[in-house]
Structure 1
């Protein structure tokens, strides 16, 4: 994924002030920033959910987007959600989804109605729906929200496996947890991206963000 010159404002409040970002294959990257810094706005633009005021986003292959707020129907079971997304993605089977459910340890909830699941288990399903079609680019907004410690560790193991399989993974959070697991880490502040050591982030062409 390549991002060049993203700008976005809500009325007179500028949220993004010229974002450049390169997300190559086989990279696990992170963006951190305080609440209200514009992280979710940036991800919505990267996923195509929101149109920027200015700028370009280009990517190859399919992408998966796990929003911070789960988008689930409380009346449906976990399995019914998987079947619905299987049809939407045009998948032949649920093998990948079932593998992720085993990795995150919630396969036993397959026939449970989503409305009675715990917040952490709902987030596991939210993440599974974003990954089950094996996308090339993964955009994850606070993906481990509500996870217990064991599931949190399993999430990072899964993220590393995806990176090692050549996927491009971007994790967005308000805190820099486990930054040593990341290949790239940026801070979103005042509408601009900076390398986490405080120096401005640079694109491959060398232009400062």
Structure 2
């Protein structure tokens, strides 16, 4: 089972003075799986990811990433991971082509740099200096530098910040393709629709601990929660929460030829996320 895991974390702890940033967190990411880590600011997401990337030491707990402890792993291990940070502004004078080709030389088995430039949608900006790119284009370049080394595990920190809707969907297709090729991906994002679109599993972190994990469609017993049935009757908007929405609609159909303003709504991922985080906060 361990060989099938790209990431395995047990009882992770990290403290900054009196602040317990990570408090006994457990996490797994299988090879070829996309896991989205969700949580409010200060929940411990960034600290956890930095420990997994080998940039920060933990106080306690077991951490294995691609079979090694990031705290002691060497250069060969680092060549097997890709990292897309939340923001970057270095090397602004180099062009897209220069940067992607240069980054490829750092890895033993890189992807074709020209194919990577095409994959992230920067062909028309290939000769443009990084400092002249728009915010969304710079994020695409960051992704290109993160994937050019053919990583077995890719860390993505808020990867589509600054993307327009069309660019975000193109990026989603790219990430799904990497997963299909066997790359494990750990994604942190504040865009819940992004997590729902991409992730095989979502992990909700609050106050340094995992409070829920599961497929986005099932998170927090989402499918088992009550539905909301809405309609218009006598000029007024009506609604009812129910475990049996089909029965409610059938009853309404017996009273109307066409049910005015009918809506049957299940809880969204945002509804579930907020309820999980609010529940955790309420017991602190």
Class of the TM-score when normalised by the shorter of the 2 chains: 0.7 to 0.9
* Alpha-carbon contact 2:116-2:144 (below 8 Å) kept: yes
Aligned pairs for 1:38-187 within 5 A:
38-60=44-66, 62-70=80-88, 72-91=90-109, 95=112, 97-178=113-194, 179-187=196-204
Structure 1 residue 28 displacement after superposition: 1.2
* Alpha-carbon contact 1:35-1:174 (below 8 Å) kept: no
Question: What SS does the corresponding residue of 1:89 show, helix, strand or coil?
Answer: coil
Distance 1:71 1:88, change over 3 A: farther
Q: 1:13 aligns to what?
A: 19
Q: Does 1:191 align with 2:197?
A: no
TM-score (norm 1): 0.86
Structure 2 CA distance, aligned partners of 1:142 and 1:101? Answer: 20
Structure 1 residue 113 displacement after superposition: 1.1
Structure 2 CA distance, aligned partners of 1:145 and 1:28? Answer: 18
Structure 2 CA distance, aligned partners of 1:101 and 1:87? Answer: 15
Between 1 and 2, higher relative CO (CA 8 Å, sep ≥ 6) is seen in 1
Structure 1 CA distance, aligned partners of 2:32 and 2:100? Answer: 27
* Alpha-carbon contact 1:71-1:126 (below 8 Å) kept: no
Equivalent pairs counted in the alignment come to 197
Deviating above 6 A after TM superposition, structure 1's stretches of 4 or more consecutive aligned residues are none
* Alpha-carbon contact 1:18-1:192 (below 8 Å) kept: yes
TM-score (norm 2): 0.65
* Alpha-carbon contact 2:52-2:65 (below 8 Å) kept: no
Question: What SS does the corresponding residue of 2:146 show, helix, strand or coil?
Answer: helix
* Alpha-carbon contact 1:72-1:126 (below 8 Å) kept: no
Distance 1:114 1:181, change over 3 A: closer
Larger radius of gyration: 2
User: What is the CA deviation profile of residues 53-87 of structure 1, one whole-angstrom value per residue up to 9, with x for unaligned ones?
Assistant: 12232122611111112253112222221233122
Taking only aligned residues, the RMSD between alpha carbons, in angstroms, comes to 1.9
Q: 1:206 aligns to what?
A: none
Distance 1:48 1:31, change over 3 A: same
Q: 2:239 aligns to what?
A: none
